[in-house]
Structure 1
């Protein structure tokens, strides 16, 4: 039995909305779309090569993520990065990131463990001296998302991605004031390998230090 036209259209729109959501989300957290900047749906839909309907669905989700805000008769804007939220965000991450590291180390599939080792090898092989801080930080995002996915707990993954996104926005806001981030990102190789090897205690210790160091580094430059 074939898929009906309406069902196929719905599936396609959901796929387009998910793609639009992920692409706009990453533009927002890396400040490619600057805080406070208006979202022009027509221009953005053309740039992403999607229709207005999936883009609007993506923007609704991004509003729930506190990355955009819609105002009646004014439009949709990228939210302002609120530095004062750093403590609250870090408190949540300090509670949940070690939990994710332990669960991933204990429960990740062999496919996920292989992916973590491969990501560790990619980071170890990077010539970071020739890379911008922004490009290096994109690997930090990749590491966190890979660890969250390896937990096999979709609810935990969704929550952590949301709060990591907010933390990354703060990081990108002060990136030009920060010391080199290469050491910070390269240090993830040990975490990735600890999880891949099933060393939960080491993974928890490394994750806790990483989140605490992030908060300290940001406060140092504020």
Structure 2
């Protein structure tokens, strides 16, 4: 085990993964953009090996695609995948919300309470800030399930759904309202009301797909 991992710090590969993942999910690295591991390594101040490890994970997450002799590229956003994503998320998001309501530990509750405070003050926030808050809310809820397999699975699907969302941001009204839907959901989790939390999570996922399809 490395010193960094032993002390709880993320490895260089994990750091590279998080930076690239964030940029890919929010489309700051646009779909189809080539990703040069040497350039990324130089920018992040790490070696090429950690970047290559990160790119392998991102390929498994469907966020990048690698072609022999051509290189690695940010994957395209496939609108046709929206129905598949919703089908999975409609089953797993309510499950996660229910589990979070029943299992959230003191640390999880503290994080969710802090995010709820941010959410209450975010009505006039900038687009980037709202997207970041949305991602952090989802991840905190997934972590509160106490199930690392459910958490990791949902993070992957939420990343892909967020890419679809970001593709239509300039045409989707009420971004703050969409993010604000997490308020009642988080409150239900904090109140230990798994049934209501699950219902609100299902409504949120269904509403997301309806909003996107209205623009197609």
Normalized per residue, the structure richer in helix is 1
Bigger CA drift: 48-57 or 97-106? 48-57
Q: 1:105–1:195: 8 Å Cα contact kept in structure 2?
A: yes
Deviation at 1:10, TM superposition (A): 8.7
Does residue 59 of the first structure (1) align with residue 55 of the second (2)? yes
Q: 1:109–1:150: 8 Å Cα contact kept in structure 2?
A: yes
**Which residue is equivalent to 2:153?**
159
Deviation at 1:11, TM superposition (A): 4.6
Structure 2: 5+ residue stretches without partners: none
Residues 120/71 of structure 1: CA separation in 2 closer, same or farther (3 Å cut): same
CA distance in structure 2 between the partners assigned to 1:15 and 1:48 by the alignment: 13
Number of positions where the alignment pairs a residue of Structure 1 with one of Structure 2: 214
Deviation at 1:9, TM superposition (A): 6.9
Deviation at 1:136, TM superposition (A): 1.1
Name segments (4+ residues, structure 1) moved above 6 Å: none
Residues 120/11 of structure 1: CA separation in 2 closer, same or farther (3 Å cut): closer
Deviation at 1:118, TM superposition (A): 1.3
Q: How does the TM-score come out when normalised to structure 2? A: 0.94
RMSD, matched Cα: 1.7
CA distance in structure 2 between the partners assigned to 1:105 and 1:42 by the alignment: 44
Deviations 1:115-161 (A, max 9, x none): 111110111022x32x3323212211111100000001000001000
In our comparison, the structure showing a higher alpha carbon Rg is 1
Does residue 47 of the first structure (1) align with residue 43 of the second (2)? yes
Structure 1: 5+ residue stretches without partners: 1-6
Bigger CA drift: 132-141 or 84-93? 132-141
